[in-house]
């Protein structure tokens, strides 16, 4: 979970259900490797949803597990779903790290023009400027790219087919965990409200 500049993290998304729906209570789940990242991410998404009038809650008080890699049976999942519905939840958003890759980008060079001033003349001073064009070489940039996926589920309907929305995000070379989480959360919540969640 993870900052880049002005480039959008959200690369593509799909409203799988084809409809927008309002939710009474959404559970936000971040499958992070460490507890701090999970807390920061879930709390940020909850706060961003609140700004849009949507009730969302961090999963930290509901799913206390420290390790999401633990095998969970279908029976366990169904019991969890029923308990969540019983507690008033009707939506769940799960964010998961899909892949980590090293990347190499070639940034094309180009031309730049500088204005150079000169002084010349016979009787006194006379100034003029003229343009000088120069080439900049290509640059190779390397780094780490994180691919994450966020999915919204309607847990009140058929458990076999309750995926409502999915978004794929890519984050290159995050320099600040907090800033990256803020940007990701903002893009996630705005896309969900635009495409899948009715206010």
pLDDT of residue 84: 95
How far is the first Cα of the chain from the last one, in angstroms, to the nearest whole number?
Answer: 27
Instruction: Assess if residue 111 is contained within a domain.
Output: no
pLDDT at 6 > cutoff 70: no
Instruction: Assess if residue 187 is contained within a domain.
Output: yes
Buried b (16+ CB within 10 A) or exposed e, 119-139: eeeeeeeeeeeeeeeeeeeee
pLDDT of residue 5: 47
Work out how many domains the chain is built from and give that number. 1
Instruction: Assess if residue 120 is contained within a domain.
Output: no
pLDDT of residue 117: 60
**What is the C-alpha to C-alpha distance for residues 170 and 32, in angstroms, rounded to an integer?**
16
Which residues form the domain of 46?
Answer: 10-104+143-195
Instruction: Assess if residue 134 is contained within a domain.
Output: no
pLDDT digits (tens, 9 = 90+) for 118-145: 554 444 444 555 566 767 777 887 889 9
pLDDT of residue 122: 45
pLDDT digits (tens, 9 = 90+) for 62-76: 876 655 656 778 888
**What is the C-alpha to C-alpha distance for residues 176 and 100, in angstroms, rounded to an integer?**
17
- Mean pLDDT value across residues 82-98: 95
Instruction: Assess if residue 80 is contained within a domain.
Output: yes
Instruction: Assess if residue 109 is contained within a domain.
Output: no
Q: What size, in residues, is the chain?
A: 199
What CATH number is associated with residue 64?
3.40.50
Percent of the chain whose pLDDT exceeds 70: 83
- Mean pLDDT value across residues 88-110: 89
pLDDT digits (tens, 9 = 90+) for 15-62: 999 999 999 999 999 998 888 999 999 999 999 999 999 999 999 988
Instruction: Assess if residue 66 is contained within a domain.
Output: yes
- Mean pLDDT value across residues 159-183: 93
Instruction: Assess if residue 138 is contained within a domain.
Output: no
For 133, list phi and psi in degrees, rounded to 5.
Answer: -100, 135
């Amino acid at each position: 979970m993870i900052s880049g500049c002005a480039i959008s993290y959200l690369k593509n998304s799909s409203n799988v259900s084809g409809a927008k729906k309002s939710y009474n209570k959404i559970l936000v789940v971040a499958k992070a490797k460490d507890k701090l990242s999970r807390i920061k991410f879930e709390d940020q998404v909850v706060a961003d949803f609140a700004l849009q009038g949507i009730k969302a809650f961090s999963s930290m008080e509901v799913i206390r597990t420290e390790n999401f890699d633990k095998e969970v049976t279908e029976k366990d999942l169904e019991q969890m779903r029923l308990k969540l519905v019983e507690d008033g939840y009707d939506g769940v958003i799960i964010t998961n790290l899909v892949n980590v890759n090293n990347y190499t980008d070639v940034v094309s060079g180009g031309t730049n023009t500088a204005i150079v001033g000169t002084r010349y003349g016979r009787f006194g001073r006379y100034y003029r400027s003229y343009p000088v064009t120069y080439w900049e070489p290509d640059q190779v940039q390397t780094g780490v790219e994180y691919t994450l996926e966020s999915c919204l589920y309607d847990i009140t309907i058929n458990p076999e087919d309750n995926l409502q929305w999915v978004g794929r995000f890519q984050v290159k070379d995050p320099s600040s965990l907090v800033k990256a989480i803020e940007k990701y959360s903002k893009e996630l919540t705005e896309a969900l409200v635009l495409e899948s969640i009715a206010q």
